């Protein structure tokens, strides 16, 4: 199984949106998939995180909600703050055990979606990036195309590269339909980032099956 961690330039970059588009495209190409959101903050009226529910719905492997989202925190704030309010500690060893369980599922590709941006705190002394580096997972970056994204993307890539992890590529997710000079911003990142742009997702309410993105993603895994 190939396992990939999906991070974003910030909280609203569209990690889940891109993950769902990938899961749909990979399924259309005949790949068996599994997905996980280890830490999520914010729940619906039933007590579930909607991002995690989407991952559960669109992966081909049938998993329980607990398997998809080991840490489900009620408040829609930074997870370490939500955990503190709930008198919980986000234990990275539990994240590792749950990842290992995920990797034993009968599937070809596992997508592990982060929360927030790359340096999201899990507690006072650790970040999600620390855990991903410990697991040595290759990374896919979602760039939410909006004013300020150039700085966010360049800094995030610098941190990922500093960690020694492989950046498989990045996806330009057009979250702002009114963004000025959108294509010029995308071209700038294509010139400045050494990792390939695997796709550009247009602004739309729901992700569509995108076999081109899925094909580019699989090729990046093989390179």
- One pLDDT digit (tens) per residue for the chain, 223 residues: 999 999 999 999 999 999 999 999 999 999 999 999 999 999 999 999 999 999 999 999 999 999 999 999 999 999 999 999 999 999 999 999 999 999 999 999 999 999 999 999 999 999 999 999 999 999 999 999 999 999 999 999 999 999 999 999 999 999 999 999 999 999 999 999 999 999 999 998 787 788 999 999 999 999 8
Q: Is 51 annotated as a binding residue?
A: yes
Q: Is 148 annotated as a binding residue?
A: no
Specify the pLDDT at position 204. 87
Specify the pLDDT at position 3. 98
What distances in angstroms separate CA 1 from CA 38, 41, 134, 209, 220, one per listed residue? 18, 28, 18, 22, 15
Q: Which residues are catalytic?
A: 37
Whole-model pTM: value is: 0.97
Specify the pLDDT at position 11. 92
What is the tens place of the pLDDT at every residue in 168-184? Answer: 999 999 999 999 999 99
Q: Is 13 annotated as a binding residue?
A: yes
Phi-psi region of 221 (alpha: psi -120 to 50; beta: other; left: phi over 0): alpha
Contacts 24+ apart (CB under 8 A), 132-135: 132/5, 132/7, 132/163, 132/165, 133/163, 133/164, 133/165, 134/92, 134/96, 135/5, 135/96, 135/99
What is the tens place of the pLDDT at every residue in 3-50? Answer: 999 999 999 999 999 999 999 999 999 999 999 999 999 999 999 999
Q: Is 173 annotated as a binding residue?
A: yes
Specify the pLDDT at position 74. 96
Please give the angle made by the CA atoms of 133, 25 and 131, to the nearest 5 degrees.
10
Q: List b or e across 133-170, with b for residues whose CB sees 16 or more CB atoms inside 10 angstroms.
A: bebebbbbbbbbbbeebeebbbebbebbeebebbbbbb
CATH number for 6-222: choose from 3.40.50.970, 3.90.650.10, 3.40.50.300, 3.40.50.11540. 3.40.50.300
């Amino acid at each position: 199984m190939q396992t990939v961690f999906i991070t974003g330039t910030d909280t609203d970059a569209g990690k889940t949106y891109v993950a769902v588009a990938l899961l749909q495209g990979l399924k259309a190409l005949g790949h068996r998939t599994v997905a996980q959101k280890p830490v999520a903050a914010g729940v619906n009226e039933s007590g579930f995180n909607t991002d995690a529910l989407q991952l559960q719905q669109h992966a081909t492997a049938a998993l329980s909600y607990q398997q998809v989202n080991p840490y489900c925190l009620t408040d829609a704030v930074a997870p370490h703050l939500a955990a503190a309010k709930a008198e919980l500690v986000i234990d990275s060893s539990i994240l590792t055990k749950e990842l290992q369980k995920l990797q034993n599922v009968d599937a070809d590709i596992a997508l592990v979606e982060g929360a927030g941006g790359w340096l999201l705190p899990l507690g006072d002394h650790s970040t999600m990036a620390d855990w991903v580096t410990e697991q040595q997972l290759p990374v896919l970056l979602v760039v939410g195309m909006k004013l300020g994204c150039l700085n966010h993307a360049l800094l995030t890539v610098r941190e990922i590269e500093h960690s020694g992890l492989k950046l498989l590529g990045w996806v330009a997710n057009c979250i702002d339909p009114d963004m000025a000079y959108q294509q010029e911003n995308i071209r700038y990142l294509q010139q400045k980032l050494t990792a390939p742009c695997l796709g550009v997702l247009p602004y739309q309410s729901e992700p569509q099956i995108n076999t081109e993105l899925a094909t580019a993603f699989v090729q990046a895994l093989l390179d």
